[in-house]
């Protein structure tokens, strides 16, 4: 009997059973496994072939998302592994997507390429949700590509199942309750509650090293509101903030505002230049931000930040570094 039938019958048997089945029971109920050796032959060759085939089947089914549970049962006083599929974890509740909604999902996921994931995942996912509905118009060529690194997938699973995630970040071990994953400006960030630091933190995924280890499901509760990732370099810090005013020349005004529309504009001058007010906790971050604009922007106030910039720039003018020998 072909492997496809054997796998389907294994799924049916594990869903239908009211008590978990041991490997031996499965061998009897699911056709297609190597028959037991003739009684008394004692070779055990077919037994090991059966176990290999059964292990492989379980692994293949789990890979396509079929949740085969392993439990311990006692049989003749001996503990044994037994297997079952719990309906609630197996069955996809009906999302109630209508044809238009399925088509919209299909189109969106086609236009945004998930780099690093198998394109079949899209097709297979849609089949489970009720079909692919219609052919996607050729004009729907991918417009965007979003990388999907392996850590993202592990953290996504932790987020959905509310498992604590453990990983190394900048070479230090962290334990975090992951709340949300955000893709911004070309990078993935995870925002969550850092258990060691007892505070909400954001982590850039490409700075995670090694594997993500997942804790038990339902290990925490996500708060009602999760703040967005903080990306403005001058805002990163714990101290009190100082309001600084910055003048951006007209040529750069629209680019700066497109990059960060939430910036506080307190004045638009006649020539089109903007005065922004920034809450600065990290003057070094403000300096880096200002260097992006070269001589097309200027810190207006406070005086202290102006003199810091002047001091910083003077470093370069008065003492150009010598190349080390």
Partner 1 sequence: MSGIAAPDRVQRILAVIPYIIQNPGTPLTELAQRFSLSESDLRNDLELVFYGVGLYPFTPDVLVEVSFDNDCVTVNLADYFHRPVRLTHEQALTLLAGGRALIGRNGSDPDGVLSRAVQKLSAVLGEGAESSVEVALGPADTEILDALQSAVATKSRVTLSYYSYGRDEATLREVDPYRVLSRQGHWYLLAHCHLADAERLFRIDRIQAVELTGQNFDPPELIREVEETLSGAFSAVELMGPESIAWVADAYPYDVFERLPDGTVRLVIPVTATPWLERLLLRLDPSTTAVEVLSGESLLGIRVAAASRILTRYLQV
Residues between 305 and 324 with contacts to partner 1, criterion CB under 8 A: 306, 309-310, 313-317, 319-324
The answer to whether residue 287 forms part of the interface with partner 1 (CB under 8 A) is yes
The answer to whether residue 152 forms part of the interface with partner 1 (CB under 8 A) is yes
Output DSSP code: residue 233. Answer: G
Q: Residue 199 corresponds to which tokens in the numbers above?
A: 């505070």
Which residue's structure tokens are 């931000």?
289
> What is each CA distance from 50 to 148, 280, 298, in whole angstroms?
37, 67, 75
The answer to whether residue 275 forms part of the interface with partner 1 (CB under 8 A) is no
Count of positions on this chain that bind partner 1 (CB under 8 A): 120
Q: What is the footprint of partner 1 within residues 62-81 (CB under 8 A)?
A: 63-67
Question: Residue 10 or residue 278: which is nearer to partner 1 going by CB?
Answer: 10
Of the residues 71, 86, 160, 211, which one makes contact with partner 1 according to CB under 8 A: 160
Q: Residue 183 corresponds to which tokens in the numbers above?
A: 């893709």
The answer to whether residue 210 forms part of the interface with partner 1 (CB under 8 A) is no
Of the residues 68, 82, 102, 165, which one makes contact with partner 1 according to CB under 8 A: 102
Of the residues 7, 68, 246, 276, which one makes contact with partner 1 according to CB under 8 A: 7
Single out the segment in contact with partner 1 by CB under 8 A; choices: 7-15, 44-52, 238-246, 274-282: 7-15
Rg over alpha carbons for the chain, rounded to the nearest Å, is 29
Of the residues 71, 81, 141, 211, which one makes contact with partner 1 according to CB under 8 A: 141
Neighbours of 12 (CB within 10 A): 13
Best CA proximity match to 51, nearest among 83, 86, 19, 76: 83
The dihedral sign for the CA sequence 277, 280, 285, 288: positive
Which residue's structure tokens are 């609630």?
88
Nearest distance from residue 42's CB to partner 1, in Å? 27
Nearest distance from residue 215's CB to partner 1, in Å? 16
Of the residues 127, 197, 264, 269, which one makes contact with partner 1 according to CB under 8 A: 127
The answer to whether residue 90 forms part of the interface with partner 1 (CB under 8 A) is yes
What is the maximum span of the chain, computed from C-alpha positions, in angstroms? 99
The whole-angstrom separation of Cα 191 and Cα 189 is 6
């Amino acid at each position: 009997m072909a492997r496809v039938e054997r796998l389907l019958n294994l799924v049916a048997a594990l869903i239908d059973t009211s008590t978990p089945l041991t490997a031996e029971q499965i061998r009897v109920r699911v056709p297609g496994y190597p028959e037991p050796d003739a009684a008394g032959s004692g070779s055990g060759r077919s037994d090991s072939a059966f176990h290999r085939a059964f292990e492989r089947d379980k692994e293949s089914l789990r890979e396509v998302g079929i949740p085969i549970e392993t439990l311990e049962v006692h049989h003749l006083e001996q503990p044994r592994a037994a297997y079952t599929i719990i309906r609630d974890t197996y069955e996809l509740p009906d999302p109630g997507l209508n044809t238009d909604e399925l088509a919209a999902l299909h189109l969106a996921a086609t236009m945004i390429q998930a780099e690093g994931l198998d394109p079949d995942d899209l097709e297979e996912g849609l089949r489970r949700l009720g079909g692919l509905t219609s052919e996607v118009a050729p004009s729907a060529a991918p417009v965007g590509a979003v990388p999907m690194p392996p850590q993202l997938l592990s953290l996504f699973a932790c987020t959905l199942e509310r498992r604590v995630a453990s990983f190394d970040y900048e070479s230090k071990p962290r334990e975090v309750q992951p709340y949300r994953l955000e893709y911004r400006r070309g990078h993935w960030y995870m925002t969550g509650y850092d258990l060691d630091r007892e505070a909400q933190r954001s982590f850039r995924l490409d700075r995670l090293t090694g594997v993500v280890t997942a804790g038990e499901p339902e290990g925490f509760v996500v708060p009602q509101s999760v703040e967005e990732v903080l990306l403005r370099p001058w805002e990163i810090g714990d101290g009190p903030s100082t309001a600084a005013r910055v003048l951006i020349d007209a040529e750069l005004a629209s680019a700066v505002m497109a990059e960060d529309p939430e910036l506080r504009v307190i004045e638009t001058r006649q020539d089109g230049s903007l005065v922004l007010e920034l809450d600065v906790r990290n003057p070094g971050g403000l300096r880096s931000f200002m260097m992006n604009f070269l001589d097309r922007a200027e810190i207006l106030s406070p005086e202290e930040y102006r003199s810091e910039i002047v001091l910083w720039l003077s470093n370069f003018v008065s003492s150009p570094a010598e190349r080390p020998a």
